[in-house]
Structure 1
Amino acid sequence: MKMSIKQLRAFLAVAHTLNFARASERLNLSQPALSLTIKNLEEVLGGSLLNRSTRKVTLTQAGEFFLPTARQLLADIDNAEETMRQRFTLQRGKVSVAAMPSFAANALPGALKVFRERYSHINVTVHDVVNEQVIEMVKEGRVEMGIVFEPAPGGQLRFTPLGCDRFIAIVSQNSPLADRQQLSWRELLTLDFITLQHPSAVRLMLEEQLARSGCKLEVAMESHQLMTVGRMVAGGLGASAVPALCQQQMQDLGVVCLPLHGPVIEKRIGVVYADKPLSTAAQVLLEMLKTSFHA
């Protein structure tokens, strides 16, 4: 038999009032039930905590010793209950997210704005990392959820789709192809092609899809970041293909964005997380992402 919260509350009520009748009223408990609860606590601890007589109730030496400990235990329990209640009702807490750069810089801020407006006491940490590192961080438990292109089936993580994103062409404003309405891959690849370095999921996806269509991706320049790729294209060094999520970001850099076909390359984007329940904050953020993302 172990000490219970009910027993702690009973002991503290009697210790504060030194009167079983008033303690019973405070606890909304009958005097016989209160006496039995105190007796059970004393049996658990192995000795008397209270001196009882017909005239008064006092604390034994052991009771005096136990009183501050009992207060602290109950305070810790009450604090833990309140902390968890606030977390479950989203009055406090935190959620950590890793997202591939194209999503982190373009689609994620809008969802986070709505989330913060509703749950301003929830701390949100965003890790802006490449697709492969997002998956690695989720697997290692360093973040609760990640936003990536759909991984290959059979992995350790759960995947909730948000939508599809397709690749678009980006060329400089001075490019001979800049005035076209759309481009084929064969036309785009007549220009020096700039893309992300291996082992980028974007690079791998382009190579695999083009190979199936009989096109070989000849790369003239490489970079680690899509923003750098965009700046290189804007500077007239060549052309590239990027997720449509980046369109506004690329246009802000001064490039021309064009639909791309032959083949159309697209892939689902979604949230990955470990095969266990998400925290309340992460669940709410996931629902907001599903509502706000319309690629």
Structure 2
Amino acid sequence: MNVKQLRIFLAVAQTQSFAEAGHLVHMSQPAVSLSIKSLEDSLGGRLFTRTTRSTLLTAEGQQLLSMAKTLVASWDSVENELKQRFTLDRGKIALAAMPSFAASLLPKVLMNYRQKNPNISIEIHDVLTDTVVEMVRSGNIEMGISFEPENTQDLNFQALFNDRFIAVTHQNCSLKNEKELTWKQILECEFITLQKPSSVRNLIEMALAKEGMELHVAFDAHQLATVGKMVSQGLGVAVVPALCEAQMREQGAICLPISQPIISRHVGIITKAKIPLSIAAQEMIDTLIEAFRNNTI
């Protein structure tokens, strides 16, 4: 029994005529008769009683009628749902992004995506880089945006750009007029950073360790917004991804480039290897790539 047979069965039941049913389903009368016979054979009994003047449902046919209506309606609903998803007329995607990206570049990408796909709902998780990676790896979301993971064995990573870390100082800091800061200058100040296990803090500590330098932290916080606010109040100096520059300046801080050593990391799209993406998720990836290729964000 298949959905095509059920549609033909419903047409015959509605019209009480094989010929008229054929017109409804765009088939010849012999083809309709053959389909009904095949359905009856598969079920093991007659669904219609036929005379020269009428075609009526048997008791078993009456029982099938309501079930057939429900099954065909459900099939049509599923078919319509999938067609809408494939054409991006309906659907939902969930993505995770590290906070520095989510609060700076992501909104513009979402606007571009929304303009092209207004019927797709989007769920955003702004979480730490390690959490982004874990959510993709576990299959909880289809895609994430973060720094390149250390271990990409079961993941795909597509770089979007290279983010160089910058120093953030307050308006009255003695270093504010420098064109570029060294880590020696930065470490002579009270240092503000993110709490562990932040990937930003890990990158800083590993880069300094390679140079034989040790990081002494005066203040740490969970959110970059808090770090920026503490810097703007004169509590110390911070080092953050350049992604956060606009956010830091909005809070009244001064941003300066850093040398000796330069810390940078690729930012890109993370997906799970060998797992096909939904049409909606692939469209989001294409939107991201296009935005950075054309430098429109």
* TM > 0.5: yes
The aligned length equals: 293
- The residue correspondences of 1:1-295 to structure 2 (distance < 5 A) are 3-275=1-273, 276-293=275-292
Deviates more, 1:236-245 or 1:135-144: 135-144
* Pairwise CA distance, 1:145: 1.2
Change (3 A) 1:157 1:226: same
* Pairwise CA distance, 1:207: 1.0
Q: Distance in 1 between matches of 2:110 and 2:89?
A: 16
Q: Distance in 1 between matches of 2:154 and 2:224?
A: 28
Q: Secondary structure at the match of 1:288?
A: helix
Q: Distance in 1 between matches of 2:152 and 2:126?
A: 25
Task: Render the CA deviation track for 1:271-293: whole Å, top value 9, x for unaligned.
Answer: 11222011111100111111223
Q: Secondary structure at the match of 1:64?
A: helix
Deviates more, 1:167-176 or 1:45-54: 45-54
Q: Distance in 2 between matches of 1:38 and 1:282?
A: 43
Q: Secondary structure at the match of 1:80?
A: helix
Q: Distance in 2 between matches of 1:179 and 1:123?
A: 46
* Pairwise CA distance, 1:54: 1.7
Q: Distance in 1 between matches of 2:217 and 2:288?
A: 34
Q: Distance in 1 between matches of 2:160 and 2:114?
A: 20
Change (3 A) 1:136 1:154: closer
Q: Distance in 1 between matches of 2:199 and 2:59?
A: 70
Q: Distance in 1 between matches of 2:53 and 2:12?
A: 14
* Pairwise CA distance, 1:24: 1.2
Q: Distance in 2 between matches of 1:154 and 1:134?
A: 13
Q: Distance in 2 between matches of 1:118 and 1:287?
A: 12
* Pairwise CA distance, 1:154: 4.1
Task: Render the CA deviation track for 1:157-211: whole Å, top value 9, x for unaligned.
Answer: 2212111111000000100001111111111111111111111111111111122
Change (3 A) 1:202 1:285: same
Q: Distance in 2 between matches of 1:69 and 1:154?
A: 50
* Pairwise CA distance, 1:155: 3.0
* Pairwise CA distance, 1:139: 2.0
Q: Distance in 2 between matches of 1:154 and 1:271?
A: 12
Q: Secondary structure at the match of 1:63?
A: helix
2:69 maps to amino acid: R
TM-score, normalised to structure 1, is 0.96
Identity %: 47
1:250 maps to amino acid: M
Q: Distance in 2 between matches of 1:161 and 1:181?
A: 29
TM-score, normalised to structure 2, is 0.95
1:53 maps to amino acid: T
Q: Secondary structure at the match of 1:84?
A: helix
Q: Which runs of 5+ in 1 are unaligned?
A: none
Task: Render the CA deviation track for 1:24-45: whole Å, top value 9, x for unaligned.
Answer: 1222212221111101111121
Q: Distance in 2 between matches of 1:292 and 1:230?
A: 27
Task: Render the CA deviation track for 1:42-85: whole Å, top value 9, x for unaligned.
Answer: 11212111111222111111111111110110111011000000
Deviates more, 1:150-159 or 1:123-132: 150-159
Deviates more, 1:150-159 or 1:88-97: 150-159
1:79 maps to amino acid: S
Q: Secondary structure at the match of 1:148?
A: strand
Q: Which runs of 5+ in 2 are unaligned?
A: none
Q: Distance in 1 between matches of 2:147 and 2:14?
A: 61
